[in-house]
Amino acid sequence: MKRPAVILTATIAGASLLAACGTGTGSSDSGADSAGASGPIKIWYSNNPNEVAWGEAVVTAWNADHPDEQVTGQEIPAGRSSEEVIGAAITAGNTPCLIYNTAPVAVPAFQKQGGLVNLSSFPDGAEYIEARTGEAASQYASADGDYYQMPWKSNPVMFFYNKTIMSAAGIDPENPPLATYEEFLATSRTIVESGAAQYAIYPSPASEFYQSWFDFYPLYAAESQGSLLVEDGASTFADTEGEAVATFWRTIYDEKIAGNEPYTGDAFADGVTAIASAGPWAIESYGDLDWGVAAVPTSAGTDPAETYTFADSKNVGMYSSCENQATAWEFLKFSTSEEQDGALLESTGQMPLRANLTDTYPDYFAANPDYTTFADQANRTVDVPNVSNSVEAWQTFRDAWTSSVIFGEDPIEASLQDAATAIDTLVAKD
């Protein structure tokens, strides 16, 4: 071996040994000490302007009454996605005590990393979560039955429609027929054929794992009356309901009712499409558009009062690097109290994940009837299942969906079945 090769090999080997020595160790916070400790804490919230305003107000309100337990809030650092930023921060050991907008899909991975505090370990932990959220809390529990996330807010996905485009296409803008697959397809064809809009609907055709939350999953939740993608350790979607939803979307792509190219921007806000699947968070971005909202369709046309959809929740995680976890828990309860949830609803229009939402804030919903529809829908939502390898499972599903539905290259039944088999293997792994 020539000398440079020898040097390179020796150096890499040495570095490998050093690396090996450096793994699995590091400073260890005493979990027991941190759990009962009080003092200053840091939190991160999202960079949405309305949520920043809410976060700053909550922190100010808390700090005024807790001089020895001051909270410092900041927007989550910029990154490709908040999940990636949080994952890196967990590894580096510099997560704040609380992160608002923790995605449920990432919770199993964060838990596996040892990055999350078990909220059920607080004396009133599980009791508080279940009392606030009601029955819906159970779908946020981990496999061990404990809560590693505080269910915080949901954005139930519904179908927005542009009334101006509907009128231009000769469709009743106040009550467009969108309840059944047949009605939806007929309305969509009319929109496209009339030239009122280039497309009827335009969910992102991109391959990222989370895109199925806005095309497949809301309709599957509705069609199956609330089934999760995975239940009791086995995938559910390779059934007649899943195939019905996939066939519906494949028809849409085959007939070019939806585009299959990535779109830069918001197709609905730009008037490229007449219908969009989104939660109430999107309302602000629609500006002066004259829009209405409908429940997602089903094959038989389910009563909207009984229709399920995807919750698109964001929750709060308490992270294990937190040194003053007692303060963090108290602040978490303060920030999810009835008063602060009301402030969140007022400033963002997003639905706090609490039982009896409309009864709790009757004045708000009386003044904002558009949001009442979403609040009612929030009672019937499903979220991503809390399972191992959750992101990988969703990516597996998305790949199958892309090939069989968006590009129509593989048969739907076989494609869903293959994805289900692969996902069953993934969720069975640690």
Chain residues binding another protein by CB under 8 A are: 11-20, 22-29, 80, 83-84, 87, 90-93, 95, 109, 112-115, 198, 204-209, 259-262, 264, 320-321, 389, 391-392, 395, 399, 402-403, 406-407, 409
- In three-state secondary structure terms, 44 is strand
Query: CB under 8 Å, gap of 24 or more: what pairs does 73-78 form?
Result: 73/42, 73/43, 73/44, 73/45, 74/42, 74/43, 74/44, 74/45, 75/44, 75/45, 75/46, 75/47, 76/44, 76/45, 76/46, 76/47, 76/101, 77/44, 78/47
Q: What are phi and psi of 162, to 5 degrees?
A: -90, 110
Question: Nearer to another protein by C-beta: 113 or 347?
Answer: 113
Task: Indicate the residue among 327 and 390 with the shorter CB distance to another protein.
Answer: 390
User: Which two structure tokens, joined as six digits, stand for 307?
Assistant: 């229709």
Pick the closer one to another protein by CB: 5 or 64: 5
* Residue 192 CB coordination number (10 Å): 20
Residue with structure tokens 């759990």? Answer: 35
Q: Which is nearer to another protein, 339 or 409 (CB)?
A: 409
Q: How far is the CB of 255 from another protein (least distance, A)?
A: 14
Give the whole-angstrom CA distance, residue 205 versus residue 259: 8
To another protein, the closest distance from the beta carbon of 202 in angstroms equals 12
Closer by beta carbon to another protein, 21 or else 64: 21
Give 108 or 176: the residue with its C-beta nearer to another protein: 108
**In whole angstroms, what is the distance from residue 151 CA to residue 301 CA?**
30
Least CB distance from residue 109 to another protein, whole Å? Answer: 5
**Are the C-beta atoms of residues 102 and 317 closer than 8 Å to each other?**
yes
Nearer to another protein, 239 or 392 (CB): 392
CA 248 to chain CA centroid, nearest Å: 23
Can you say whether residue 298 is alpha, beta or left, with left for phi > 0 and alpha for psi between -120 and 50 degrees? beta
Give me the least distance between CB of 271 and another protein, in Å please.
Answer: 14
What pairs with residue 113 in β-bridges?
A: none
CB of 416 to another protein, least distance (A): 16
- Name the residue with tokens 């009672």: 379
CB of 207 vs another protein, minimal distance in Å: 4
Smallest separation (angstroms) from another protein to the CB of 192: 14
**What are the CA-CA distances from residue 289 to residues 132, 160, 162, 195, 278 (Å)?**
35, 11, 7, 18, 15
Nearer to another protein among residue 56 and residue 409 (C-beta): 409
State the minimum distance, in angstroms, from the CB of residue 209 to another protein. 7
Distance, in Å, from the CA atom of 152 to the CA atom of 333, rounded to the nearest integer, reads 11
